[in-house]
Amino acid sequence: MLESLIGSLFGGLFRLAPEVLKWLDRKDERSHELKMFTLQTDLEKVKGTFKMEEKYAEYSTEQLKAIGEAFKEQSATAQASYKWVAAVSALVRPGITWALFALYCAVKIATLSLAINSGGAWQEVILKSWVVEDWAMLNGIITYWFLDRTVAKYAGR
């Protein structure tokens, strides 16, 4: 009797063994599918980022081409007109630059004057009035007027 009971017990366990193995296999399969899905979503994110950067590069290229065409058109128009019109046209950008620079200097001088008249030491006022943004603007102007023109000269633009 004990032998039949043990036989039934082992028979039942052996009957459940394939189901347990199937359950473990499905668990591993779902884990694998989840990992694959995660990898696919990461890949799609990278593809999306790449496409956005590609579109931005295309936009920048088209923008530079449009600026180049505008310069060519402006040059052709200036050459076809009177010399004084070409001279005025050539002075527009530098004139705006000088006007803004003069306005900037006037604001800095007025600030310095106001601070000194309020009792501040001029050395300290000058040091505190020249901030990071001033350096950024100065670097932008120097880069445009000197470095950009030098690079353009050697690039043949």
Threshold 0.85, pTM exceeds: no
**Could you tell me if 8 and 61 lie in one domain?**
yes
Domain check: are 42 and 102 in the same one?
Answer: no
Q: Judge whether 86 and 79 are in contact, CB under 8 Å.
A: yes
- For residue 149, what are its two tokens? 């023109």
Residue 19 in tokens: 């189901």
**85 within domain boundaries:** no
Query: Looking at the domain assignment, is residue 2 inside a domain?
Result: yes
Domain count, the chain: 2
Same domain flag for 46 and 72: yes
Domain that residue 136 falls in = 91-157
Task: To the nearest 10°, report the CA torsion of 124, 125, 126, 127.
Answer: 50
Q: Tell me, yes or no, whether 97 and 76 share the same domain.
A: no
Query: Do residue 128 and residue 100 come from a single domain?
Result: yes
Give the pLDDT score at 10.
67
In degrees and rounded to multiples of 5, residue 121 shows phi and psi of -75, 130
Same domain? For 69 and 6 the reply is yes
Examine residue 146 and state whether it is found in any structural domain, yes or no.
Answer: yes
Confirm whether 133 is domain-assigned: yes
The answer to whether residue 58 is domain-embedded is yes
| pLDDT (0 to 100) of residue 72 | 82
Q: Which residue has the tokens 């102007």?
A: 141
The answer to whether residues 69 and 140 belong to one domain is: no
- The predicted pLDDT at position 2 comes to 67
Determine the length of the chain. 157
Instruction: Collect all residues with Cβ–Cβ distance below 8 Å to 74 and sequence separation of at least 6.
Output: 89
> Is residue 86 included in any domain, yes or no?
no
Q: Are residues 41 and 109 in the same domain?
A: no
User: pLDDT digit of tens for each residue in the chain (157 aa)?
Assistant: 667 767 776 676 667 677 767 777 777 777 888 888 898 999 999 998 999 989 888 888 888 888 888 878 877 776 777 777 778 877 888 888 889 889 988 988 998 888 888 888 878 888 888 888 888 888 888 887 777 666 666 666 5
Residues 35 and 74 placed together within one structural domain of the fold: yes
Tell the residue number behind the tokens 């590609």, with chain if given.
54
Alpha-carbon gap, residue 50 to 41, rounded angstroms: 14
Indicate if 8 and 41 belong to the same structural domain.
yes
